Structure formats: structure tokens, C-alpha cells
Chain A
Amino acid sequence: MTDRPPFLGFGLGLRPQHYAEILEAEGDLPIDWFEIISENYMAPGGRPRHMLDRIRERYPVVMHGVSMSIASTAPLNWDYLADLKALADHAQPKWISDHLCWTGVHGVNLHDLLPVPYTEEALTHIAGRIAQVQDYLGRRIAIENVSSYVEFQESEMSEWEFVAELANRADCWLLLDVNNVFVSGQNHEFDDAGFVQAIPQDRVVQFHLAGHSEGNDCLIDTHDQPVCDEVFALYAKAIERFGPISTMIERDDNIPPLAELIAELNRARAIAGRILDPADLKVT
């Protein structure tokens, strides 16, 4: 696809704990770009918006939301979408993403990324909603695969078939969360490398890397640990398939000093560097 957004290089999720260090470095950090959690910057003013503006002066930014609830059967929340659009007009992100999930019905928000059954009905429903959102925002959005702990009896296809078909029908981008593929693969006992191979090459614009933790009966997507070796290994396979794709690390809890995240990011950089031609990894 010719209008695919640019390769931004290797980035991090922007977290308030690191604001001061990022600004003091005045751009002299081995971080190419930042992803912001859209909802955290939807408030009208104060420190979040101020910091966002200062960081935007030096770094490309992408917006990542958790509340679009694109897979819900509740009506789209147009107030939320208006706020999202206003933030995008202000922040000028390279792209906007949210999750392939629903967050609630009947007016309730469970503040979780809930999975869907992989059915024809869900495909039609979600593809239609993505098209509505893309029309409204005037741009393609990127949809991210989530970690899940359950699947549904009524599913008619695999998650990777569903994701691939959804991207084509909705004509949207994909954000491939490598950790989520790994976690769901462990939890539902599918082949994570096979998942990666099934995703259409021309749809993916971003990779997420993150850490997870071990629950009683399954892996849980907690973003409170370093990225594990298995996820880096799967990342290598993703780089082999998709080439230079903007990569970032999500850390939301147990947040370490910036230097530790940069060290993890450098590991991703080194993996990509071993697989790809240096010319392909030039940030445009």
C-alpha cells in the first residue's frame, strides 16, 4: 500500500515518570519516537498537555487508545471520538491505534480489553465500525491484537484468520503486539509463529513489545516486566516477515528508570539490525 505511514524506528510509550529525564536530554536519547496513551492527554490542560507539546517539538508521536471499544455492540461513543479527533488535530500523530476488543455494553465501561468470538457476524460488525471511525477521523486507524484468557465456543475461525480478514475488509492498518501473540498463543495453545505468518504484510504499521506475568492458570498481559526472551525471538520472526516496522516497548507498571527501557529497546534494535539491511532501518 503506497500511503503506508513511515518507519519511525524504535520508540517507547511516554510515561509521566520519565518526563523530566526526556526533556533534560534535549533530544539526545536513543529513542526515535513516542507513543502516547490517548486518553491520558484528552483532558483540557495542565501538565499532560504541556509535556506532550514539549515532547512533540523533538519527537514524532503516535496515539494509542484503550476506549474506542470498536468491537462492542453498544453504539459508537461519538463524544469520545470527537475528543480523540480534537487531540489528533492538536498532537498531529503519525497514526492512531486502538485494540481489537470491546470494553463494555449497556453504557458500562469495564476498562478492560475484552476479546471477541471469531465469527462472520463479528467480522461484519467490527469492519463496519472501523470504516465509520476511519470516515470520521479522515484517516486509516491501526487495530491491535489483544492478549486474551478465554476464547468462545461459537468461534468459526482462528484469531489470525479473523485479524487478517478484518484488516482487508475494513481497509485498516494493523498494530501487531508480539507479546499479545505470544501470551494468547500460550493461553490457547496455538502456534505463535504461525499467527505472525498469517498476518498480511502490507497492513502492519507498528509492533508492540511488552512483558507479561504468570497467573494461576495462564499468562497475563501485565506490562510490568521486561520483554522476555521468547517474545524477542518471536519479534525476530516478525521482523523477518514484515521488514522495518516501527517498534516500541510498552511498560505500564513497575516502571523502571528510562535507561533500562532504552537497554531493552536497543535489544530490539540489535535484532532488527541482524536481520535487515542497515539502509532499510534508516528512519525517514
Chain B
Amino acid sequence: MASGLAALQARMQQDILHRDGSALDAIAVPPGHRAEDRLFVYQNAYVARLVEIMGKDYDTTWTYLGDQLFYDLARQFIAAHPSKTPNARWFSHGFPDFLAGLDLATQNPAVAELCAIERALGDAFDAADQPALSRDSLAQIMDNTGARLTFHPSVALLRLATNSYDIFNALRADQTPPDVIRLQDETWVLIWRKDLTCRHMQLQPDEGAVFEMAMQGHGFEHLCEIAATIGPAERAAFRMAQHLTHWVDNGLITQIQS
């Protein structure tokens, strides 16, 4: 191990992260210039670059919170969670959970959910490709009581306690978002990519519940039982068939395991 080099890099990193002058006496600058000013370029670029990346990853959350609050929260996140990933694309993955743990989440529980919607869209953007099944495979599922479904790698199902999805849609349409309300019943929002385009839609409570069970790996027969407990039992099979058609038509199912 290169010990002098290691010590220098540790000091430089410490100074970039904490601006505490650790590296100052190791720096050489031309006459008439100050080491502080030059180190500041790195200190400033570090935060600015990561805030900029977060602004792109969470631009709707940024619009919702406004510049000042978003910058403050992004800086708090960066200080608490320095990037550990070689790909800056992933470093702010924990931002929704970070927001959910703040006092802010009590005042406005929609913020962390809005942020989670954006994270799921970001994840869906470059998740693995996999061909989706067509309607031809519907019969194969319905004839096979034990069939389990595999969903496209981009699929994420979010269970939301507030009207954050309405807020999200309003902001994306450049409209004034509605006031935050806590929903009487939780709602489900599905996020995925079809072809090259990220998509999102709200699921009705019964469809959301069975989708969640299906994602957990429950077989078709069990899904029908669940459907029967949510709505009128005699229409459960019909509704499950509708759900499956809906999922297949949206390119959500990639495999059937029996």
C-alpha cells in the first residue's frame, strides 16, 4: 500500500467532505493564489454535482418543495449518505426513505411518496429488458391453478397513504397540485416500462391487492381466493380474468411458472 499517497488522499477527501482545512498544507498553488480558494473548487463541485444529479432524478419533488427546501434536504442527504457507488446514477436511491424519516414527513407525508414515485420511474428507465407475454398465454395461466407470474424487471408497485399520485400528476402537467390529504384507504400505483417508455397508473384497490400477492409469488388459485374475499365471491374468477388481461396488455408479465 502506498502509504504517503494514502494519507494524502484521506486528507484531501476529508477536506472535500468537511471543509475543515485538513489538506491545506499539502496543497501547492502559484504565487499570488490561495490554497483555500483552489480547494474550494473541489468542495463546491462535490456538493453542486450531487445536488444537480438529485435535481434530475427527483425533479417533480424539487418543483413541489421549491428550490430552497429541496437544496437543503438534498444537502442533508448528501452529508448523511456520501456516495458509495461508482455510478452516480444510483447514489440517491435512499432519498425517499431519508425523507420519510424526517420531521417533514409528519408535516407533509406526501413528499416521501412523491419522491418514491420518481425513484421507481428512474429505476424502470434502465431496468433489464425482457420480452413480455402476449394474450396467447392467458389460457395457460387460467388453466393452471398453481401458475405463478414473473413480472417485468421494471415493475414496481407502490402502496400510497396520501394523494401523492394526484400531486405528482398535477405537477407533471404544470398544474397547481391539490392540498395533501391522507387517504381513507391506501391506494396502489404501478410503475413499469413498456418498450422504451416508463409508465405509471393507479390500480383499483382489489386489483392492487392481488397484484401485490402475485408479485410476492402466490399462485393463480390463491389469487382467485384473495379476489373472492375482496369483492362479490361469484364474480371473483371473472375479475381475475380481467386483471390478467389488463396486466398482459400492459406488458407486465414475462413468464409463467407452474
> Nearest-CB distance from B31 to chain A (Å)?
9
Contact between B129 and A49, CB atoms less than 8 A apart:
yes
Contact between B84 and A109, CB atoms less than 8 A apart:
yes
**Which residues of A (144-179) have their CB < 8 Å from a CB of B?**
149-155
The stretch of B35-43, B93-101, B161-169 in contact with A is B35-43
Contact between B89 and A43, CB atoms less than 8 A apart:
yes
Contact between A124 and B27, CB atoms less than 8 A apart:
no
Contact between A151 and B29, CB atoms less than 8 A apart:
yes
Contact residues in A for B13 (Cβ distance below 8 Å): 104-106, 108, 110
Contact residues in B for A278 (Cβ distance below 8 Å): none
Contact between A45 and B153, CB atoms less than 8 A apart:
yes
Contact residues in B for A132 (Cβ distance below 8 Å): none
> Nearest-CB distance from B209 to chain A (Å)?
29
Contact residues in B for A257 (Cβ distance below 8 Å): none
- A102 to B29 CA separation, bound complex (whole angstroms): 20
Contact between B38 and A153, CB atoms less than 8 A apart:
no
Nearest chain A residue, comparing its CB with the CB of B4: A121
Contact between A218 and B38, CB atoms less than 8 A apart:
yes
Complex interface bits, A248-263 against B, C-beta within 8 A gives 1, otherwise 0: 0000000000000000
Contact residues in B for A104 (Cβ distance below 8 Å): 13, 83
Contact residues in A for B30 (Cβ distance below 8 Å): 188-189
For residue A273, CB closer than 8 A to chain B, the reply is: no
> Nearest-CB distance from A111 to chain B (Å)?
5
The A interface, classified by DSSP as helix, strand, loop or mixed, is loop
For residue B128, CB closer than 8 A to chain A, the reply is: yes
Contact between B89 and A39, CB atoms less than 8 A apart:
yes
Contact between B46 and A77, CB atoms less than 8 A apart:
no
How many A residues are at the interface, by size bracket? 35 or more
Complex interface bits, B54-84 against A, C-beta within 8 A gives 1, otherwise 0: 0000000000000000000000000000111
- A215 to B86 CA separation, bound complex (whole angstroms): 27
Among A40, A72, A149, A215, chain B packs the most CB atoms within 10 A around the CB of A149
> Nearest-CB distance from A87 to chain B (Å)?
12
For residue A47, CB closer than 8 A to chain B, the reply is: yes
Partner of A216, one of B37, B84, B193: B37
Q: Given A112-B42, A155-B28, verify A119-B87 contact (CB < 8 Å).
A: no
> Nearest-CB distance from B186 to chain A (Å)?
29
For residue B225, CB closer than 8 A to chain A, the reply is: no
For residue A272, CB closer than 8 A to chain B, the reply is: no
For residue B85, CB closer than 8 A to chain A, the reply is: yes
Contact residues in B for A40 (Cβ distance below 8 Å): 89
Contact residues in A for B25 (Cβ distance below 8 Å): 153
> Nearest-CB distance from B38 to chain A (Å)?
5
Contact residues in A for B5 (Cβ distance below 8 Å): 73, 116-117, 119, 121-122, 125
Nearest chain B residue, comparing its CB with the CB of A48: B126
Contact between A150 and B35, CB atoms less than 8 A apart:
yes
Partner of B10, one of A47, A106, A149: A106
For residue A131, CB closer than 8 A to chain B, the reply is: no
Q: What are 20 pairs between A and B in contact, CB < 8 Å?
A: A44-B127, A44-B153, A48-B126, A73-B2, A73-B6, A104-B13, A105-B6, A109-B84, A111-B50, A112-B45, A121-B5, A122-B2, A124-B2, A150-B42, A152-B27, A188-B29, A188-B30, A189-B30, A217-B41, A220-B41
New A-B pairs, 8, CB < 8 Å, besides A43-B89, A47-B126: A44-B128, A45-B153, A109-B82, A111-B46, A112-B42, A153-B25, A217-B33, A218-B41
